[in-house]
Amino acid sequence: MYKTIGKFQHGYNAITHRTDDTKMLMDIGVYLLRKGETIILYDIECETVILPLEGFVKLSWEDQSKEVCREDIFQQSPHCLHVCKGIEIIIEALAESEVLIQKTNNHNIFASRLYLPEECTSEEAGANTLDKTSYRTIRTIFDYSTAPYSNLVIGEVISHPGRWSSYPPHHHKQPEVYYYRFNKEQGFGCAMVGDEAFRVKHNSFLTIPGGLDHPQATAPGYAMYFCWMIRHLENAPWTERIFEAEHKWLLENDCKVWPNT
């Protein structure tokens, strides 16, 4: 399912719910906060991820706090707070701010962690293949390899103008959600899920059922950001991208594409 949210309203803007018919198994939404506003988050069933997208906020949890400023999601790697169920989080907006929330059921108890920008794994993917036509920046905040106690994965991609992402086409059985932004609000791209294609706009999202490939393309002149969020399945965590067999040849370092030189 593809949907454009448009302009955010003050407060919570829901994207998915873990029990809705999208079957993404995650609560995902974005809070738009006014300067001076404070919200308190507490969940006795779900682990919670707090990802500041824009603005200046103070995050407080247990006996810790941190002021986080983020002005440009395209240039700045993120701070991201991850807590287990039963932990109270206070978010105080020190300026007008936008904060993404991701939640899902998890009975595991684990130590809270604030991921710092320098701890975010960043990969310049596709820089040396296919004439840079799939050049993008992949930021992985945490996944199964770094947080095996979690039922979630979260990261960010900066898709460069006129380039492809999530490429070569791949799939996995776990559900995934993409939340999009553009460096200019009139920017656009294309998202493909299986045999369907959608025109992607600013403040839109895509729900990706397990088993379908999902390549993306970005219009020339615009940079596309998307936050990618995966929900592990019971006894089947997400650990790898399964590339479509007919396109695996594109992974070869010396593959030749047209013109064949």
AA identity, residue 57: V
Could you state, in order of their start, the residue ranges of all structural domains in the chain? 2-251
pLDDT at residue 2, as a whole number: 64
DSSP characters for 201-239?
ETTEEEEE-TT----EEE-TT--EEEEEEEEPBTTB---
> What are the tokens at 205?
């999202």
pLDDT at residue 254, as a whole number: 80
Q: What is 2-251's CATH topology?
A: Jelly Rolls (2.60.120)
pLDDT at residue 107, as a whole number: 98
**pTM of the entire predicted model:** 0.96
Q: Specify which residues 81 forms β-bridges with.
A: 50, 114
AA identity, residue 6: G
| Of the candidates 202, 260, 244, 227, the residue with the CA atom closest to the CA atom of residue 73 | 227
Helix (H, G, I), strand (E, B) or coil at 55: strand
- 111, 161, 226 from 89: Cα distances, Å: 14, 37, 25
pLDDT tens sequence for the chain (261 residues) = 666 677 889 999 999 999 999 999 999 999 999 999 999 999 999 999 999 999 999 999 999 999 999 999 999 999 999 999 999 999 999 999 999 999 999 999 999 999 999 999 999 999 888 989 999 999 999 999 999 999 999 999 999 999 999 999 999 999 999 999 999 999 999 999 999 999 999 999 999 999 999 999 999 999 999 999 999 999 999 999 999 999 999 998 888 888 875
